[in-house]
Amino acid sequence: KVHPEILEKLEIGFKNFYKSGSKSLLKKYLTREVFDKLKTKKTSFDSSLLDCVQSGFANPDSNVGIYAADPECYTIFADIFDPIIQDYHLGFKNPTYNQLRIMGKYYPLSEMTPDEQQKLVDDHLLFKEGDRFLQAANSCRYWPNGRGIFYNDDKTFLVWVNEEDHLRIISLQQGGNLGEVYKRFVTALIELEKKIPFIKSERLGNLTFCPTNLGTAIRASIHVRLPKLAANMTRFEELADKFNLQVRGTRGEHSEAEGGIYDVSNKRRLGLTEFNAIKEMYEGVTELIKQERAA
């Protein structure tokens, strides 16, 4: 049974959230009816609706506003997750991702000097601390313990450990050879999955903390300088939207662009194959570059 204290937090949170001008997907789909149906439910991990929506309640400016506190949340709280997933991933029907089946050293955060840590962040290799959305989701407790980064000597293959997800697997390099990046990524996944099976659902593909990452779980991104397009941010965002792209700052989500450099990636990851997720990014970015040149 959901503890009365949690129920009270949910009720108060919902009332305030309902009155807020939030434009998040959570606001769009968390009706009183859905809320009442879900507020008393719990997963076998003891997660409640509050664990999923507290970030969205605390941050009305969220785009999405919900996280899955454990893999069962996507089933137990499907009445709120499903419409959000449908909306975000443009009406996906089934995951269609292919089963994806290298290496260096692990560097724990707790054993790095602040300088070493900052250098890795500046080089776009390491995650940064202090994301208020994640903090409000209660996903940063006991920081920096149990967190760290694995990387190879070339720094072209990285694994983030216990940032937002248990693992964030990253392949990257300078230049535009997406094939090489993808090949390295897949090779590593095949090896990793022999040792640690990833949690998957038949309905949603790979399961992740944030519903935006479900399915292929692939965010294919490129750092690209688009100063002319960026001169009109509204138009730029509209254009990106047209190609199902998401535009982020140079240091990723919730960061600013430095020197007109943007991080542009596929927005949806669910309902298409890995190849098509990358293709979506590739084709969209090609079009953006064309328009930048013409501008």
Residues of this chain that bind ligand CIR (CB under 6 A): 24, 55, 62-65, 133, 210, 212, 253
Q: Between 24 and 216, name the residue whose CB sits nearer to ligand CIR.
A: 24
Q: Quote the least distance from Cβ 39 to ligand CIR, whole Å.
A: 20
Q: Do residues 104 and 112 make contact, with C-beta atoms less than 8 angstroms apart? A: no
Residue pair 269/277 in contact by the 8 Å Cβ criterion: yes
Provide the CA 262 distance to its chain's centre, in angstroms: 17
Nearer to ligand CIR, 55 or 150 (CB): 55
In the complex with ligand CIR, the residue whose CB is nearer, 64 or 277, is 64
For residue 67, the minimal CB distance to ligand CIR (Å) is: 7
Question: Whole-number minimum distance, CB 194 to ligand CIR, in Å?
Answer: 30
Minimum distance, C-beta of residue 270 to ligand CIR, in the bound complex (Å): 13
Burial of 228 from C-beta contacts in 10 A (0-12 / 13-18 / 19+): middle
Closer residue to ligand CIR in complex, CB, 68/226: 68
DSSP result, 163-221: SSSSEEEEE--SSS-HHHHHHHHHHHHHHHHHHSPPPEETTTEE--SSGGG-BT----E
Closest CB to ligand CIR among 43 and 221? Answer: 221
CB of 125 to ligand CIR, least distance (A): 20
Q: Is residue 223 helix, strand or coil?
A: strand
Nearest distance from C-beta of residue 83 to ligand CIR, angstroms: 15
* Neighbour-count burial of 41, counting CB atoms closer than 10 A to its CB (0-12 exposed, 13-18 middle, 19+ buried): middle
Residue type, 78: A
Q: CA quadruple 54, 49, 77, 35: dihedral positive or negative?
A: negative
If the CB atoms of residues 43 and 246 are measured against ligand CIR, the closer one turns out to be 246
Q: Distance between CA atoms of 249 and 274, rounded to whole angstroms?
A: 24
Strands of the sheet with 221-225, listed across from one edge = 221-225, 261-266, 245-248
Nearer to ligand CIR, 133 or 236 (CB): 133
From the CB of 212, what's the least distance to ligand CIR, in Å?
A: 4
Report the distance separating Cα 129 and Cα 140, nearest Å. Answer: 9
